[in-house]
């Protein structure tokens, strides 16, 4: 199979098909959609191919048959039946200032009206939108297809200005309600975005939407599967470590039978032939980090969060659940699912190495505020672990906490909590991409952190103490026999007891023994 052009940054289905780019056939999902309901909603993180999927729907309903030759849906369609398509995208625009959204919507509606040569006498956006749908239906004799891309961006962009975000939400509620009110004129509608706002807050006027976000049948509607890499992208695989690709980028799960890759990561990997945090670096999660610190969420707890369907959907301007925010933005995904008395619960976890490593690096940057010192500390940590230099590690751990500015403590209550000390400690290790397990369960309790590195096992217990020198951390490591779980590996096991003082906000005891 010959190599093809990598569709990096291309969100236009026609371009991909006409220019011979790699394309993963998503039309089986379209066939399932068309055989089912009429109005759909899908939430997926950024850079996951939502815009391309919408553009594929546009070309299909406009009857552009040649673009679909060789794809699964080609033989199932009457290509002579064509529908007018109205596509609204909020991927660009200024939404952070009062009134900005109104101006942007008016401009988009004017563009659609001009393209269809429709003159309107209405002034409000909902009235103009409704008239546009009615006029297109009447003119063509075919009901209209409505596609809305990044429906939530005007709200998300303004979250740091809550009054503007609320105003944008309320304005969009009226606009989207037109889809329900104009049902007689609509053949099909599909809305996509990053977040899933509650029906009460945004979709109260559009309660006939079928949400396929957590429908297992559509788990791979966006993203690439293992099979896609091994077939469609087979020419790109030689020279790359297949297991490393899986470790770095696979792992996103929306209750499907298989996990998926973020397309942006895979395309950049094939282009550069290097492993990097390609997806993470395209968006800075400043607001996310601020929410975590405001809610006093320890970084250690991120990989153990639990959510229900209701919780993962509980996102609104005035009610931002950290679990929902992390899940919907792609920093956590579904790791396990369990049914308890008819109520489904999900344990969330990092999808892959890229997200875990990069997020912790970013969290540290928020704490330390000195990138050069943070990088130096991280590099030094790796070197000392390789050398098993425990005296050097003690000095370095002290440096970790000393590098955090005093001003940070005076403005953050989280520094008073035990989880804070563990968060800083853990994030330095996680930011290096090391093989670590936190809160590891044993028959005698839960170990704070286990590290496997360079043929050695390191078992850490962290304690915040009032008085130094009591050896409480090491005593617990021994008393609970945490090492027994790891003896079968046949590797040296190091018990590491670390104690912190609330008064000095630093390491006051550091003990190491071979188990």
Supply the pLDDT for residue 299.
84
DSSP state of 393: H
Q: Residues 449-452: contacts with CB within 8 Å, 24+ apart?
A: 449/422, 449/425, 450/486, 452/491
Supply the pLDDT for residue 205.
61
Q: Which secondary structure element, helix H or strand E, spans residue 148, and what is its range?
A: strand 144-149
Contact 328, 315 (CB under 8 A): yes
Across the strands, what pairs with 347?
Answer: 306, 336
Supply the pLDDT for residue 199.
59
The SS3 assignment for 103 reads helix
List, for residues 356-410, the tens digit of each pLDDT value.
999 999 988 877 777 777 888 889 999 999 999 999 999 998 888 877 766 555 5
Tokens of 328: 């919907």
List, for residues 19-78, the tens digit of each pLDDT value.
999 999 999 999 999 998 899 999 999 999 999 999 999 999 999 999 999 999 999 999
Among 283, 336, 347, 279, which residue's Cα sits nearest to residue 311? 347
Whole-structure pTM value = 0.90
Among 438, 412, 416, 410, which residue's Cα sits nearest to residue 426? 438
Tokens of 257: 């039978």
What is the C-alpha separation between 442 and 368, in angstroms, rounded? Answer: 33
The SS3 assignment for 504 reads coil
Instruction: Please identify every stretch of the chain with a pLDDT value under 70, giving residue numbers as ranges.
Output: 198-201, 203-207, 314, 405-419, 442-444, 467-470
Domains annotated for the chain, with CATH where assigned, are 25-218 (3.40.50), 356-514 (3.40.1350)
Tokens of 236: 């790109």
Among 473, 483, 476, which residue's Cα sits nearest to residue 442? 483
């Amino acid at each position: 199979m010959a190599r093809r052009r990598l569709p990096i940054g291309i969100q236009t289905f026609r371009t991909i098909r006409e220019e011979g780019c790699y394309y993963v056939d998503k039309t089986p999902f379209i066939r399932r959609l068309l055989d089912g309901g009429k109005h759909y909603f899908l939430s997926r993180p950024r850079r996951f191919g939502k815009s391309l999927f919408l553009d594929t729907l546009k070309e299909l309903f406009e009857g552009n048959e040649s673009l679909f030759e060789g794809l699964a849906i080609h033989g199932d369609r009457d290509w002579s039946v064509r529908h007018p398509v109205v596509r609204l995208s909020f991927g660009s625009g200024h939404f952070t200032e009062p009134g900005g959204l109104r101006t942007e919507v008016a401009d988009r509606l004017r563009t659609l009206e001009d393209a269809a040569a429709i003159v309107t006498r209405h002034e409000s956006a909902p009235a103009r939108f409704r008239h546009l749908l009615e006029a297109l239906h009447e003119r063509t004799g075919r009901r209209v297809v409505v596609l809305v891309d990044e429906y939530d961006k005007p709200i998300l962009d303004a979250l740091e200005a809550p009054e503007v975000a609320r105003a944008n939400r309320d304005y969009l509620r009226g606009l989207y309600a037109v889809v329900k009110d104009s049902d007689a004129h609509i053949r099909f509608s599909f809305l996509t975005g990053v977040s899933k706002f509650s029906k009460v807050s945004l979709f109260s006027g559009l309660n006939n939407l079928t949400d396929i976000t957590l429908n297992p049948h559509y788990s791979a509607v966006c993203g690439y599967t293992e099979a896609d890499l091994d077939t469609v992208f087979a020419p790109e695989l030689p020279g790359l470590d297949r297991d490393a690709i899986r470790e770095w980028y696979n792992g996103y799960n929306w209750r499907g039978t298989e996990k998926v890759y973020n397309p942006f990561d895979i395309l950049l990997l094939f282009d550069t032939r290097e492993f990097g945090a390609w997806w993470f670096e395209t968006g800075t999660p400043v607001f996310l980090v601020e929410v975590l610190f405001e809610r006093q969420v320890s970084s250690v707890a991120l990989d153990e969060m639990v959510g229900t369907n209701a919780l993962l959907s509980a996102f609104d301007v005035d009610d931002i659940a950290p679990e929902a925010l992390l899940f919907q933005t792609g920093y956590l995904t579904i790791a396990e699912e369990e049914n308890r008395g008819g109520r489904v619960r999900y344990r969330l976890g990092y999808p892959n190495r890229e997200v875990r490593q990069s997020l912790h690096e970013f969290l540290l940057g928020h704490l330390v505020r000195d990138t050069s010192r943070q990088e130096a500390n991280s590099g030094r940590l790796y070197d000392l672990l390789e050398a098993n230099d425990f005296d050097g590690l003690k000095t370095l751990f002290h440096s970790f906490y000393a590098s955090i500015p005093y001003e940070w403590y005076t403005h953050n209550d989280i520094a008073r909590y035990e989880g804070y000390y563990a968060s800083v400690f853990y994030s330095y290790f996680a930011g290096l991409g090391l093989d670590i397990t936190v809160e590891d369960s044993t028959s005698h309790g839960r170990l704070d952190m286990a590290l496997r590195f360079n043929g050695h096992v390191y078992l850490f217990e962290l304690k915040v103490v009032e008085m130094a020198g009591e050896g409480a951390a090491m005593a617990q490591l021994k008393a609970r026999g945490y090492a027994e779980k790891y003896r079968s590996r046949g590797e040296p096991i190091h018990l590491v007891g670390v104690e912190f003082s609330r008064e000095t906000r630093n390491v006051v005891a550091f003990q190491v023994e071979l188990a």
